[in-house]
Structure 1
Amino acid sequence: MKLKKIAAAVGAIALAGSLAACGGDDSGSDAGGEKIKIGIKFDQPGLGFKNADGTYSGFDVDMATYIAEGLGYEKDQIDWKEAVSANRETFLKDGSVDMILATYSITDERKAEVDFGGPYYVAGQDLLIRADDNSITGPDDMKGKKICSVTGSTSAQKVKDEYGAVPQEFDSYSKCITALQGGQIDALTTDDIILAGYSEQFPGEFKIVGQPFSEENYGVGLPKGSKDRDKVNDLIEKSFEDGAWEKAFNDNLGNSGYELPEPPTVDRY
């Protein structure tokens, strides 16, 4: 895979002094202190998942760990917080977390309230179908098909309005998976990397159609006016170059059948 080269200015990042100080009280970093609080999803296999033994795993978890370590924190100094979609801006505003990596799409509306590093990944809405199903090869095949997503999601509305699908909504993706396994629905739709996590969780049962029909730029959510934004962007670009980004994907989603795309261009707005 051809990875873009980091600009010379990034290669000369003086992280040694400034990042080593991030764990102290006079760091100039928004996180500071002995711990860094990071919001992740707890229920997305392959991305952000709380395991039965209380540990955490996933692509977002590995990327968050990499960034935290670059900011001067050890793994045992990370305090993981569950960030559901509805509370992400609130958590960043009230100090419940110092940053969020939780399939958090960068939008102009959200940028008015919080800052973002990245994007560190570009996802697209796609379809997950049973492995033996050849009736859906792209979004245009959804007309009249029962397509599942979570209640109130833009994913469900999009497939209904633009492709003539029959939305089937549940309050969790896991219920969509059960319905897909049982043949009550024809496909599950959401961001392709989220679908990859479910494909990884059930080897051989499902496949991703691989014809995305939207674009979602995942960013690192930060408090508005964050002093760490440039450092986070430097570390994201560094992960593209040193192989950490690709390793995070392969370790968590490498067996899903979903191919890792090219790394995105970080937006230094």
Structure 2
Amino acid sequence: MKKVMVLLCALMMLIGAAGCGSTSTNSTGKTTDKKELVVGTEPSFAPFEFPDKQSGELTGFDIELIRALGKRAGYEKVTIKGMGFDALIPALDTGNIDVAIAGMSITDARKQKVNFTDPYYESGLMTIVRKDNDSIKGLDDLKGKTIAVQLGTTGAEAAGKIQGATVKTFDTSDTACLELKNGGADAVISDLPVLQYFLKQGGNAYAKPVGEPKKGDLYGIATARKNKGLCDKLNKALQDMKKDGEYQKLYDKWFQ
């Protein structure tokens, strides 16, 4: 009887421990305790994620948002891992990261591979050319031209649909813009807020926007298909942030 009581006490302690902290789903589909949220991002996508010039630490709208969401979801620690944009979804599949946040547009093709949270930002696409280029006034003028884009993005997808265009892909939006500066491309197509920020930060010294921006791209936070529980937790945290005004304060800080 004494042994039975000891076993029961041990079992109750395990059950109590399981009720603490946050949970996630492992590769077998079972729920596990997890105190650290591992986040993947592409760290050259200002103002969403980029290194601070003074500290070198990653900052930006996405970085502050996911840290706040992780805390609200019950995680004690949020760890950020930088990687190429096209490596984010494979990293989710293999379990190297728990979530991906990198100005990732919600598309039907991506929804076949990952779970997305509710949209947290409405974006769009913008085209920029060199300041001294007066022949390109919009997308219709890019036929047969050379376009620089970031690999794996909706900008790259849009460029690929332009008749006769030569599309040069780069790991980051910054290097795509550098190709424009150096004369290796006629235009850059990338996310609207990213190119707006780039122009404000000095890019307007040699580049300018052309045509009407394409609106309607919605950004979401991605989790692995097998980890819907985590996606639901982040959705709840995002809803709470919007209700109590923390989301709006963060938005105003980076976009007003």
TM (norm. structure 2) is 0.71
Equivalent pair of 1:197/1:253 in contact (CA under 8 Å): no
Equivalent pair of 1:44/1:197 in contact (CA under 8 Å): no
Q: Which has the larger radius of gyration?
A: 2
Q: Map 1:67-146 onto structure 2 (within 5 A).
A: 67-73=69-75, 77-130=77-130, 135-146=135-146
Query: What secondary structure, in the 3-state scheme, does the structure 1 residue paired with 2:176 have?
Result: helix
Instruction: Compute the displacement of 1:246 (Å).
Output: 4.2
Instruction: Compute the displacement of 1:145 (Å).
Output: 4.2
- Counterpart residue number, 1:148: 148
Query: What secondary structure, in the 3-state scheme, does the structure 2 residue paired with 1:178 have?
Result: helix
Pick which of 153-162 and 65-74 moved more.
Answer: 153-162
Paired residues in the alignment total 229
- Counterpart residue number, 1:176: 176
2:212 is the alignment partner of 1:218:
no
Q: Map 1:172-251 onto structure 2 (within 5 A).
A: 172-202=172-202, 204-205=204-205, 206-209=207-210, 211-213=212-214, 215-223=216-224, 224-251=226-253
Deviation string 1:240-269 (CA, Å, 9 cap, x unpaired) is 454444443443354xxxxxxxxxxxxxxx
CA spacing shift, 1:222–1:153, aligned 2, 3 Å: closer
Q: Distance in 2 between matches of 1:57 and 1:193?
A: 16
If each structure's strand is expressed as a fraction of its own residues, which one has the higher value?
Answer: 2
- Counterpart residue number, 2:14: none
Deviation string 1:3-60 (CA, Å, 9 cap, x unpaired) is xxxxxxxxxxxxxxxxxxxxx7534621843322111211222111234634111121
Instruction: Compute the displacement of 1:67 (Å).
Output: 1.0
Q: Distance in 2 between matches of 1:33 and 1:141?
A: 52
CA spacing shift, 1:143–1:92, aligned 2, 3 Å: closer
Query: What secondary structure, in the 3-state scheme, does the structure 1 residue paired with 2:34 have?
Result: coil
Equivalent pair of 1:140/1:163 in contact (CA under 8 Å): no
Q: Distance in 2 between matches of 1:122 and 1:109?
A: 18
Amino acid in structure 2 at the alignment position of 1:105: S
Q: Distance in 1 between matches of 2:78 and 2:215?
A: 33
Q: Distance in 2 between matches of 1:99 and 1:246?
A: 22
Instruction: Compute the displacement of 1:64 (Å).
Output: 0.9
Deviation string 1:92-119 (CA, Å, 9 cap, x unpaired) is 2332222111122323343333211122
- Counterpart residue number, 2:23: 29
Equivalent pair of 1:47/1:197 in contact (CA under 8 Å): no
Instruction: Compute the displacement of 1:133 (Å).
Output: 5.6
Pick one of 60, 70, 85 that aligns with 1:58. 60
Pick which of 55-64 and 83-92 moved more.
Answer: 83-92
Q: Distance in 1 between matches of 2:57 and 2:245?
A: 24
CA spacing shift, 1:162–1:215, aligned 2, 3 Å: farther
- Counterpart residue number, 2:42: 41
Q: Distance in 2 between matches of 1:130 and 1:100?
A: 33
Query: What secondary structure, in the 3-state scheme, does the structure 2 residue paired with 1:162 have?
Result: coil
Instruction: Compute the displacement of 1:183 (Å).
Output: 4.6
Q: Distance in 1 between matches of 2:105 and 2:122?
A: 9
Amino acid in structure 2 at the alignment position of 1:41: E
- In structure 2, runs of 5+ residues without a counterpart are 1-16, 26-32
Deviation string 1:164-184 (CA, Å, 9 cap, x unpaired) is 545444454333322333455
RMSD of aligned C-alpha atoms?
Answer: 3.3
Query: What secondary structure, in the 3-state scheme, does the structure 2 residue paired with 1:30 have?
Result: strand
CA spacing shift, 1:247–1:140, aligned 2, 3 Å: farther
Equivalent pair of 1:143/1:164 in contact (CA under 8 Å): yes
